[in-house]
Structure 1
Amino acid sequence: MSAGRIREHALAALTVAAAFVPLVFAKGLGYPFVTAKDIAVRVLAALLLPLLAWAWTARPTRPGVVGTAVLAALSAAALAVVFSTHPATSFWGNGERLNGFVTLAAFAVLGAAIHRLAARGGTPARVYAWSWFGVWGVVAAWAALERFVPGFWSAFNGGGSRSVSTIGNAIFLAEALLIATAGAATAALRLPARWRLAGVSVALGLGGFAILATETRGAFLGAAAGFAVAGIAAALWSGRRSWRIAGVVLAVCCVLTVPALYLVRDVPAVRQAPFLGRIASLFSANDPSIIQRLQLWRVAGEALRERPVFGWGLEQFDMALDRLYPTDFTRFGVSNSFSDRAHNAYLDVAAVAGLVGLCAYLALFAAVAWAVERARRSGVLSGGAAAAALGGIAAFGVSHLTSFDTHATLLAAAGTVPLLTAMKNAPERSAAPFPAAARIALTVGAAGLGAWTLLAGVIPLARGSALVHRAVTATTVADFAPVTAGIVSFENPYRALQEQRIANEIFKRVGASAQLADEDRLALAQAETLLRDAVRRRPASFSSRFTLANVLLLAAVHGGSYEAAAAAFEEARLLAPRRQMVDYQLGNLYLTRNMPEEALAVFRRALALDPSVPESHWHLGRGLAATGDEATAAREFATARRTGFTEIRPPEEISVALHALLSVGDYETVFALNYQLGENGDADAYAQAVAAAVAMGSRERALDAARRGIALDPTLRAEAVEFLRQNGYPEEDIRSL
């Protein structure tokens, strides 16, 4: 066999291997958005790159409209990496930007290899296509089994009711299936007639059910849009009257689904329905997750206005959020105050890559749609196949209005779009083969780039992620010592993030201990060392500084320096001046040091950022109580509860609040606090709620709290009976307990 044939077989084998990447699981690596799927894609891309360079220089072809759009998107990403670097952060010190670009480039290389394989046709192309669609069929089948078989694949779905399958997140699974299912339907429509109906039915049935089983709101919206577009396209392109009528009916039904859900969004029966209630909540202005997404969209818009050309840099939305943090972010009951995505792919791209990146991203969608239309006009695709493909593209695009791209969606697009765009005659030659010397030089350069990707972008990532995984799964504090020693033993562009993640695991483990043993103190010192190195590498990162400040505060409680912790909190606040959480922690520090006036000052500063945030009123109440102003403190505690602050706080904080509230006779808030504690399993809190209800003269609430407390702890019955009798409750009420 000639060397050329060997290269072609190797190229085909590696490309076919890409079809099985969705089955590479490694959810336990513990590094955000970096899994074995990512590593597998990078390894495949590094191996494919020199083979593709050699093959292309032998038969150079024009990239075509879609290829040009991909190159434009990569160029925009590169510009965002280079020109958005924050002045306080060195390019190499912040590996997130580089990591994001390498990931996009790896998927582009995979797409180029798949396109070449599909354009050449033959057995390798058919093997790839059906392997690809078969793998996604398996993923969809797993989603169905998760929904119907309790506990199936529970290691991945966490025991929840929504199907998340191998991707590990319902959003990503559903979006990936949208375009993969459309691709499967398109391929099925090119089969012999006797297989078409079966192929389309299986693809749409499994994929559609899996999308519904995830209960992902954006995916449902995308599916409705996709079917509407497919219906309209089928009506326009079909030569049969029955298909035209069916297409119009399908489009009208899908379009009407959206306003129908909007109209019934607040109907109690709809809100309580397991599936329909979640989908309808997409249109609810009162849903906390929807409110927070709207806030994230607002941040993305501000980020674009601040850096409109090249954005903040790939993987840098969290940095923009820190600087532009909406002060009412946690006002509506969603406690997560960190996010690295805007939950809108277009705003995500605009924020991190600017208008240049957004235009390139939109051009890519337009180029794929144009390629499908060209294939239909040339007769390569039937009208039905083209309608299905356009429906998939529309579904993918619309679903991105409420979510974002990640490895799963990029993987689905990289595997399906090349099949759609390669459906034409043999690729057009644009030039004669490159001279031998040029071919060798380009191939060697591609091989060197692939080797660099493995050495700098895969091996350090894998080593660091493995150490993070060991930290996450550590069973004793002593297990952290080899992890911290390992992470500082080699350089890699991801080290700052990995150090922060390991230090955070140490902080969580040691912080749970009332008394620190020698090994706890050693681990805490190791966490401080890691975080100081992370801050040195990423001085503009708020999260690293804030975690360092918390570690220093914990160390101060056990004999360290409060001054160092306070200085670290102030430094973190400079990077995120709108984040109230910094002042909350700084106030805690001053209260621990018995400095109530200083604590009160920072709590007032937090409240001044946004008086509508309930938690700020709670902490101000703590500061006021510490200064002895219990009447004003009680008012702030009551305001916090009245405006929606229902977080369960530490017992010492609850005690301070109850003391202040009782001092002014606010039994309504006392009852609410204790009743909530009782609902969380505290029987004694129900007893206190009974006393508050009796003081208010609320017979029904007193009896309800008494019954609930006795149900939790039957030994409380005698005490409750005696207390109620003393307060004049009739025997009939007492016997009802």
Structure 2
Amino acid sequence: MKLQLEKYIVAIIKIGLLAVLFLPLLASGSFYFPFIVPRDIAFRIITELIFSLYLYLILADKNYRPRFNLLAKIITAFFVVLLLASLTGVNFYISLWGDYERMGGLFHLAHLYLYFLVLINIFKTKDDWLKALTISLFVSLIASFIALAQYLNTGVISKVGSGERLSSSIGNAAFFASYLLLNLWLGLYLFWNKQLKIKLFFYTWLGFDLFLIAYEVYSRLTIDRGFLVPILSNKIFLVSFIFIHLLAGLAWFYKNKYQAIRFLLTIILLFESFILFSTQTRGAVLGLYLGLVILAILSLIFNRSYNQKIKNKLSVSLSLIVLLLLIASPLIVYFNRDASFIQNQPTLRRLATISATDITTQSRLTTWRGSIKGLIDRPILGWGIENYKDAFNKYFPTEIYRDRGSQLWFDRAHNVVVDVAVSTGFVGLTVYLLIYLAAFWQIIKTHRQTQDFSYLIILAAIIAYFIQNLFVFDTLNSEIVIFLIWGLVVFWCQPDQINNKRLTPAKNYALFPLIFLAVIFLIFTYQFNVKAAQANRLVAYQLALRNKPGDLYDQRVVDILKESIDLSPIGRFETRQQLANYLLALIKGQKVDDAILAPLAELVISELKKSIAEEPQNVRNHLYLATVYNSAYKINSQYPIAAVKLLTKAMPLSPTRPQMYSERCQSYMNQDLYDEAISDCQKSLDLSPNVMESHWNLFLAYILAGRNDEADQELTVAKAVGEATGNPVIFDRVINAYSQTGNWSRVVELLAEEITNKPTEALLYAKLAVAYQQIGDNNKAKTAVLKAVELDPNLQAEAEIFLQTLK
């Protein structure tokens, strides 16, 4: 009985570990951040389940107690450092829970470590690991087919970015490329070993086919719309899909002949390489390229390990040829960077534009330099995980603020070394780098003992992963695979990896501890996972309500967001942000009475104050509340005063961020304190002289202050900046500014000038008619409105009403 119970529990744990590998395919539109939140919550639930069962095995049987080699010990030490860094960091609350957008934090990392712990102590045979690698490669293949559906514009799955980059079920091209990169190396490892678990691969594919059919039927019954027919109606996709099916079937039929498996793996590797290339992710492509270069060099260095002389010569020759081709490839791209075959291929074009003067490169380098200043502030254990943004804000690099569309909020450095250093200090960075050094040492040591070249493939994979992580950051998708690789390296170095002998006789597997752990698991997962899912889905639901036609105000939106905030500690600021956005939309729409807006504004302000209390170092919280104060100033005249106090107090959190001064400038203007407003607008402009918005704010301040000559001068400068940056002055905003101060003669002058440049724009004549009416020249107003109708007959009805007002 006890052996049967042990067998079932171990089987469930192994199924759970394999199930985790399918999570990159999981996404749901019913969640806020649909490609992140459902996946992470599912990971946490599965991890809690398998760890609870593993904990039961530990309590019942000493054979299952954790054993660590050097690499496992260093990884454990790194997680301890993460905990210490967060405890001593600037905000433990956010370090613990993270947010919806990233689903990071200690809570997530603890689950990641438990996943790794169970992995290395349950997968004890080579067969276990081959099954895991096979499943991981299979899932990456399915994800690649999803990306192919994007590439072929089947219309079922949209692309991201410029419309060309593939993101698959991951939802982000860079994250998808990171995930695919690791699986390409796993595929190469399986290719070299000729040990793909083809039976598992084949039956998993059949199971996936059955799932697709069942989901198609369900979709047609519930929403009267499926996805298989549009995808499979594409001939290229259909042929590709059937072709891989046939190859998998043939490989299984000829499973005793390794050539069939290698042929299948070759097709998979070529296909996934094409998909990786089509993501246009330069960091991943560069990582793959340098990984191959390093693998070729390692092949030359360790070639003496092979015994046959002829085989040695052939190996050396092939390695040299591959190495020379790899070295020549970037040179060909660089020296032909202006050629049509480079410019017409999006990925090659992006690779050819890599330079120190590239905008993306400049922004990254500038951001990293600012991050180093934050590291110097807290060099030992850093700012704590998830607190990178606070260091970034304190030393905000104004150079990255080029225009209104610039990316100004960074919660990651997009560089793993910088991220780890700022978050955990030099202590954390040292331990993190030791993980790689320990892995390298153990892989090379094992290779020397076994003479197995496939170990060097995994070594090159780890190097490629590290290189591409210099340009991006980890998500759960890549974390699952890299920890699978860390676990594989740990397995190679375990002394009992082959026979897996019991250390002691099996113990008594009592049911009571199992029931107790099951109850704890259910309580814990409901409290911290189910509630988090419910809260997140409520945020997504209220967005759907707001997108429906009807009255602008909907009390259900407010009630839903309040419920979401109360349900879970994760993502509270993002939920409060949605509540604030709703208020701002209502104010902007001008269709809701102040009697409704006033209590809603008080609720929003109260909630945003809670965000500040929970995360006082995050300047974004302060700015958001100040924006609400300034937008709702007509509801309560005290709001602009509160905004000034708030921003002045928060200024040291990000003294070089232009928005701080721009927002305070708005607060002063709302109080008619124009000298103070002009002073702050000028400070913002000094920090960001090429940003159109900074010039606009100063122009508006001059106008409201009645300093028209200076306003005209600033308008001239703003137009020049607008032309230089490709972001011209928004003409309506200029007209409205002069209209607010009653300077209608200036409005007439500007409209007449604009009409000279655009003589066929009817709306300009309509606005000119209103301006003429305001200065009392009804004849010219009538002439202007009739011209507007001549150019656009659709204005006839409005023109008739306007003409009546002239009588």
Question: Partner residue of 1:39?
Answer: 41
Question: Partner residue of 1:391?
Answer: 460
Query: What secondary structure does 1:29 align onto?
Result: coil
CA RMSD in angstroms comes to 4.1
What whole-Å deviation, never above 9, does each CA across 1:187-242 have from its counterpart, x for those lacking one? 23222632453244134212211211110111111111111112222333454333
Task: Answer yes or no: is 1:715 the counterpart of 2:791.
Answer: yes
Matches of 1:255 and 1:657 in 2, distance apart? 59
What is the correspondence of 1:280-295 to structure 2 with a 5 Å cutoff? 280-283=352-355, 285=357, 287-295=358-366
Which of 62, 67, 91 lines up with 1:62 in the alignment?
A: 67
Task: Answer yes or no: is 1:160 the counterpart of 2:163.
Answer: yes
Distance 1:328 1:32, change over 3 A: farther
The amino acid across from 2:391 in the alignment is A
Question: Partner residue of 1:353?
Answer: 424
Task: Answer yes or no: is 1:503 the counterpart of 2:571.
Answer: no
Question: Partner residue of 2:287?
Answer: 222
Task: Answer yes or no: is 1:130 the counterpart of 2:134.
Answer: yes
- Measure how far apart 1:262 and its partner are: 5.1
Unaligned runs of 5+ in 2: 195-256, 547-551, 768-787, 794-807
Task: Answer yes or no: is 1:201 the counterpart of 2:266.
Answer: yes
Instruction: Answer whether contact 1:53 1:443 (CA < 8 A) is retained.
Output: no
Matches of 1:6 and 1:430 in 2, distance apart? 19
TM-score (norm 1): 0.81
Distance 1:134 1:715, change over 3 A: same
Distance 1:12 1:495, change over 3 A: closer
The amino acid across from 2:479 in the alignment is L
Query: What secondary structure does 1:556 align onto?
Result: coil
Instruction: Answer whether contact 2:633 2:670 (CA < 8 A) is retained.
Output: no
Question: Partner residue of 2:296?
Answer: 231
Distance 1:321 1:713, change over 3 A: farther
> Once structures 1 and 2 are overlaid, which stretch shifts more, 447-456 or 305-314?
447-456
Question: Partner residue of 1:405?
Answer: 474
Instruction: Answer whether contact 1:18 1:110 (CA < 8 A) is retained.
Output: no
- Measure how far apart 1:296 and its partner are: 1.6
What whole-Å deviation, never above 9, does each CA across 1:240-263 have from its counterpart, x for those lacking one? 333322322323333444455555
Matches of 1:651 and 1:231 in 2, distance apart? 60
Instruction: Answer whether contact 1:31 1:468 (CA < 8 A) is retained.
Output: no
Which of 535, 546, 563 lines up with 2:623 in the alignment?
A: 546
Matches of 1:179 and 1:448 in 2, distance apart? 37
Question: Partner residue of 2:320?
Answer: 248
What whole-Å deviation, never above 9, does each CA across 1:297-349 have from its counterpart, x for those lacking one? 12221111111111111111111122111122212675221111111111111
Question: Partner residue of 1:735?
Answer: none
Query: What secondary structure does 1:477 align onto?
Result: coil
Which of 417, 420, 435 lines up with 1:364 in the alignment?
A: 435
Question: Partner residue of 2:799?
Answer: none
Instruction: Answer whether contact 1:467 1:483 (CA < 8 A) is retained.
Output: yes
The amino acid across from 2:259 in the alignment is R
The amino acid across from 2:163 in the alignment is G
Matches of 2:732 and 2:657 in 1, distance apart? 24
Question: Partner residue of 2:245?
Answer: none
- Measure how far apart 1:377 and its partner are: 2.3
Question: Partner residue of 1:18?
Answer: 20
Distance 1:446 1:413, change over 3 A: farther
What is the correspondence of 1:683-698 to structure 2 with a 5 Å cutoff? none
Question: Partner residue of 1:578?
Answer: 656
What whole-Å deviation, never above 9, does each CA across 1:474-517 have from its counterpart, x for those lacking one? 32531312213313544x43253244333243245324313433
Question: Partner residue of 1:724?
Answer: none
Matches of 2:505 and 2:624 in 1, distance apart? 54
The amino acid across from 2:188 in the alignment is A
Which of 137, 143, 146 lines up with 1:142 in the alignment?
A: 146
- Measure how far apart 1:179 and its partner are: 1.0
Matches of 1:650 and 1:633 in 2, distance apart? 15
Distance 1:576 1:268, change over 3 A: farther
Task: Answer yes or no: is 1:72 the counterpart of 2:77.
Answer: yes
Instruction: Answer whether contact 1:27 1:168 (CA < 8 A) is retained.
Output: no
Question: Partner residue of 1:415?
Answer: 484
Distance 1:715 1:632, change over 3 A: same
Question: Partner residue of 1:482?
Answer: 559
Matches of 1:577 and 1:406 in 2, distance apart? 31
The amino acid across from 2:39 in the alignment is K
- Measure how far apart 1:683 and its partner are: 7.5
Task: Answer yes or no: is 1:654 the counterpart of 2:723.
Answer: no
Distance 1:563 1:185, change over 3 A: same
Distance 1:426 1:501, change over 3 A: farther
Matches of 1:316 and 1:584 in 2, distance apart? 25
Question: Partner residue of 2:5?
Answer: 3
Distance 1:572 1:387, change over 3 A: same
Matches of 1:14 and 1:277 in 2, distance apart? 42
Matches of 2:697 and 2:9 in 1, distance apart? 67
Matches of 1:640 and 1:434 in 2, distance apart? 82
Instruction: Answer whether contact 1:93 1:537 (CA < 8 A) is retained.
Output: no
- Measure how far apart 1:174 and its partner are: 0.3
Instruction: Answer whether contact 2:20 2:46 (CA < 8 A) is retained.
Output: yes
Task: Answer yes or no: is 1:341 the counterpart of 2:418.
Answer: no
Identity of aligned residues (%): 20
- Measure how far apart 1:360 and its partner are: 2.0
The amino acid across from 1:426 in the alignment is D
Matches of 1:393 and 1:713 in 2, distance apart? 69
Unaligned runs of 5+ in 1: 689-711, 718-737
Matches of 1:220 and 1:15 in 2, distance apart? 29
Matches of 2:504 and 2:145 in 1, distance apart? 46
Which of 100, 109, 114 lines up with 2:114 in the alignment?
A: 109
Matches of 2:338 and 2:587 in 1, distance apart? 43
Matches of 2:756 and 2:333 in 1, distance apart? 38
Matches of 2:616 and 2:122 in 1, distance apart? 46
- Measure how far apart 1:564 and its partner are: 2.4
The amino acid across from 1:564 in the alignment is A
The amino acid across from 1:406 in the alignment is T
- Measure how far apart 1:138 and its partner are: 0.7
Question: Partner residue of 1:461?
Answer: 532
The amino acid across from 1:168 in the alignment is G
In the alignment of these two chains, the number of paired residues is: 677
Question: Partner residue of 1:596?
Answer: 674
Question: Partner residue of 1:695?
Answer: none
Instruction: Answer whether contact 2:692 2:727 (CA < 8 A) is retained.
Output: no
Instruction: Answer whether contact 2:383 2:424 (CA < 8 A) is retained.
Output: yes
Question: Partner residue of 2:234?
Answer: none
The amino acid across from 2:615 in the alignment is R
Matches of 1:295 and 1:27 in 2, distance apart? 36
> Once structures 1 and 2 are overlaid, which stretch shifts more, 575-584 or 643-652?
643-652
What whole-Å deviation, never above 9, does each CA across 1:397-432 have from its counterpart, x for those lacking one? 111111111222212212344235424663498996
Distance 1:452 1:401, change over 3 A: farther
The amino acid across from 1:132 in the alignment is S
> Once structures 1 and 2 are overlaid, which stretch shifts more, 303-312 or 406-415?
406-415
Instruction: Answer whether contact 1:262 1:283 (CA < 8 A) is retained.
Output: no
Distance 1:557 1:247, change over 3 A: farther
Question: Partner residue of 1:516?
Answer: 592
Instruction: Answer whether contact 2:178 2:284 (CA < 8 A) is retained.
Output: yes
Matches of 1:687 and 1:197 in 2, distance apart? 73
Matches of 2:389 and 2:591 in 1, distance apart? 35
> Once structures 1 and 2 are overlaid, which stretch shifts more, 545-554 or 50-59?
50-59
Matches of 2:409 and 2:397 in 1, distance apart? 11
Matches of 1:268 and 1:657 in 2, distance apart? 48
Matches of 1:564 and 1:28 in 2, distance apart? 37
Distance 1:306 1:282, change over 3 A: same
Matches of 2:332 and 2:511 in 1, distance apart? 62
Question: Partner residue of 1:382?
Answer: 452
- Measure how far apart 1:540 and its partner are: 2.4
> Once structures 1 and 2 are overlaid, which stretch shifts more, 94-103 or 263-272?
263-272
Instruction: Answer whether contact 1:584 1:606 (CA < 8 A) is retained.
Output: yes
